[in-house]
Amino acid sequence: MRQLIAFVCINMILITAPVSLFAAETVTTPQMKVESELEKKIRTVATKLRCPVCQGESVYDSHADVAVEMKRLIGDKLKAGESTEEILTYFKDRYGNFVLMEPPAEGLHWVIWVFPIFMALLGGLFLIQNLKSGAKELNDTKYDDFDQDDASDQDNSKVSEIEELRL
């Protein structure tokens, strides 16, 4: 469906484009607009950059002056044939890693990328340890009342405060 609409729109533009070129001087005819390919490319670059004066917002999402100008510059650079990487490097060289939405996986910043994996390992280790000792308890246990509804009912720590007061 989406493709179909896009196809129709592109066709309409192709058909209307020459007309509107002629008409531009006299009166602008209403157009069916679609997002340009350039705008799409701008989005891929600008969502990777952080608006320097906002917090947490990307350049693409921000309405701040700097962000708006950055978007324009990105557009110009894309038109000049620069790659996404080159543009990101341009801003990184001037604003530092601060301007990137996520730290690059290089140098010290490996830490934040490795950390979740490290934590997953730690969690797994903890689980194995815990379940092992639990299983050991299951084997060693003197209780044979596991078929009962709740073995822990006799447990002292389940005594209520009122009862404790009476004891």
Q: Which of residues 80-99 bind another protein (CB under 8 A)?
A: 91-99
Q: φ, ψ for residue 40 (rounded to 5)? A: -60, -40
First vs last Cα of the chain: how many Å apart? 75
* Residue 77 touching another protein (CB under 8 A): no
- Among residues 68, 114, 121, 125, the one that binds another protein under rule CB under 8 A: 68
Q: Give the residue among 59, 64, 55, 93 at the shortest CA–CA distance from 75.
A: 59
Near another protein in 101-130, by CB under 8 A: 101-103, 108-109, 111-112, 115-116, 119-120, 123, 126-127, 130
Taking the least distance from each CB to another protein, the nearer of 81 and 156 is: 156
Contacts of the segment 91-95: beta carbons below 8 A, 24+ positions apart: 91/49, 95/52
Binding mask 47-66 for another protein (x = CB under 8 A): -x-x-xxxxxxx--xxx-xx
Q: φ, ψ for residue 23 (rounded to 5)? A: -75, -15
Three-state DSSP at 31 gives coil
Three-state DSSP at 58 gives strand
Q: Give the residue among 81, 75, 84 at the shortest CA–CA distance from 36.
A: 75
Rounded to a whole number of angstroms, the minimum distance from the CB of residue 32 to another protein is 5
Three-state DSSP at 49 gives strand
Near another protein in 125-154, by CB under 8 A: 126-127, 130-131, 133-135, 137-138, 146, 149-154
Taking the least distance from each CB to another protein, the nearer of 26 and 160 is: 160
Site size toward another protein, by CB under 8 A: 82
Rounded to a whole number of angstroms, the minimum distance from the CB of residue 85 to another protein is 16
- Among residues 72, 79, 110, 114, the one that binds another protein under rule CB under 8 A: 72
